[in-house]
Amino acid sequence: MIAALLTLLFAIPADARLSLHGGDHRIEKISPGFEAVETEGPLRAELLPSGDELLLEPTGQGVARAFLFARREVRVVEIFIDTPLPPLPLRKPLCATVKDAACYAQFRNAPQPKMIFELEGMQAEAKAAQEELQKAGLTTVQVALSPWGVKLKGTKDEAEKRRALRAIWPAVLGPLRLDL
C-alpha cells in the first residue's frame, strides 16, 4: 500500500526535480511574480528579495516539495535530499485522451506533456481533487476545474487557499493554473 502511494506521488509531475545533500544550501533561479512559498518535508525555502530566486535549505533526509504561489499559478519543485531521484515513468497511457475515470487514472500514473481532456475525464479529475480536499480536512472547500484552471470556493483566507492548492496538487494533471 505505501509503495503504491509513493509510486503515485512520484508519478505526479513536479515542475522541477532537484537533488541536494544535507547541509547544502542552493539558490535556484525562478520566474518572477511568485508571492509566497510553502514547503512539505525536510526543507526550508525562502523567496529572496531579488524576486527571481529561491533559497533552498535541507533540514534532513528524504523527499521535500517547495510550492511557489503566484496570483494565477502554482509551481512545485521536488527536492530529493540524500535520496536518489526515482526514474521517470516509461509507460504511456493506453488511452489517447483523458476521456473517463479509467483514462484519468492511466494519465495520473504516467503524465504526458500534452493531454486532451473530454468531459468525463475532467469530471474524474475534479472528483479526485475534491477527495484530496476531504482527506486534508478541508471539508468546506469546493473545487471546480475548467480548461482555464482551478477555482476554489469556501476558503477563509489566503493561507487556507494555499493549503487547499497543496492538497489538490497530486490530483491535477498538468500545470496548476488558477481561474480567478
* 152 residue type, one letter: L
Number of C-beta neighbours around residue 138 at 10 A: 21
| pLDDT at 157 exceeding the cut of 90 | yes
Smallest CA-to-CA distance from 128 within 174, 176, 168 is with: 168
The pairing of strands 16-20 and 73-81 is: parallel
C-alpha cell at 121: 475525464
How far is it, in rounded angstroms, from Cα 164 to Cα 161? 5
Q: pLDDT tens for residues 1-50? A: 333 333 333 344 578 889 999 888 999 999 999 999 999 999 999 999 99
Segment 106-119 shows an average pLDDT of 87
